[in-house]
Structure 1
């Protein structure tokens, strides 16, 4: 088990956004603590989506994400990793202003075969548990994938709604159901959840907003789902954190938790080259907080070299 008191007292000031005005929030508004997992692995299957042989390629993505966040006035990114000393040394080559904060993850309680697809992504639950324990009242943990770009800040009213309900998640059921078949996706969700779900939904891992109270409820539920997931891992269509986190979110929803859909609210969107289910016109609304073409955003273009931009995944905010 990790020492939550140690994390809260000794490490929290290094990454917490102390001035809410940088978020475009009024005094007393909701603060966000952005974080992303960078699990460095050299002896596992890793991610099928990553063609790079460089174990620090996700650190490069985190640098780009951090630059884009600062460009739009969001707090700096915290990178949670299993090799903090190595990541810190790697970041020494980067300008100080562009460096994400680095947090060493405590040893994981999750066990699974190292040849599992998306092996490192499974430990996002550890990051959520450990950083969730550090949140203060009025703060939301913003869990992000590294292969994203921030294009504008988050609407304060939406943050308030997420704070009230405890959670905002990215519902991508329409994409998952159309790509893999609703029957198969729902069957996988209910298998991992351990029973019938009232309204099965699949949530993408690109972004999650969660209060400390919601994280405390989500973590044990997700751990139980993970154990079921691990037993049937070879029978599932999807391997990775989305399977058991989605199952846990569904279970909490069935218990009465309202989940704000961050996709419907245009906080986040994704368009994969291999999945054209969503028409690109969806991204063009002037109220939209996302853009499918990061090069069209002056703020991001100004601070993020084209060669350093993510090659897959979503762009958001």
Structure 2
């Protein structure tokens, strides 16, 4: 595949922000599961822009996605889960993420702390709140839901005990075909059991050992991807009846290029500084094929990846029925 540089296409400077900031996940014409872990806060250049400079990314969809999260939690409170022993880790996350956001977005956010007394200002929400670390009632909605109201990322908290990782808390409103309500209290290995190939290739075991060795304060990230029909962030198993039928009809839909989105998750792995809990941040981005086609290198790259992907992986990711139609459209140029 020939890669087109940004200099070869000066018109890419007028592409919309959603394309210029999109975290393109592929580095080859094929794809297999891998850990693909790298340090966080490292800028990645793409053919048309860049991404990755901040732990918490805030973009043009900030308020829209937070409104969507709030509506989902109102309809289905089970998307927020925490076991009682995770309270210190949740407060650890608050006092880690809010200062990071204030540092990266000083024009709209600020955080100050004196002892356990904190003040958080978020001008994007016209919010100015004071709270006391460790006192749940000092934050509106409680600490976990409050934190979920400030960042677009989903959050999963992995506790370290018995030489294993356990999913013991989280706010997951934008899941890609899984359920926080079902998985809470499960081991890392159990959660990833259904994923094809990764057990035989020991990817989960290696990933868990890496996470168990993380030291307080360390931050890493990785990307993951799938395909999503329509601009739908919430494809949790709870909503399966609302979107599953589209998988069987999309291949024949003339609007496939507008409806089918590449879904990329930027997953940050943060070892919280005070508790040592691993905070798993999942930020989901959606880009339709029509936008991908505006970048010739991306159009060709995704077309080849979809065509070459083994059937068992395409089946697990849920797009085996329409992946040929998508690949054919992309490679037709």
**What is the TM-score normalised by the length of structure 1?**
0.27
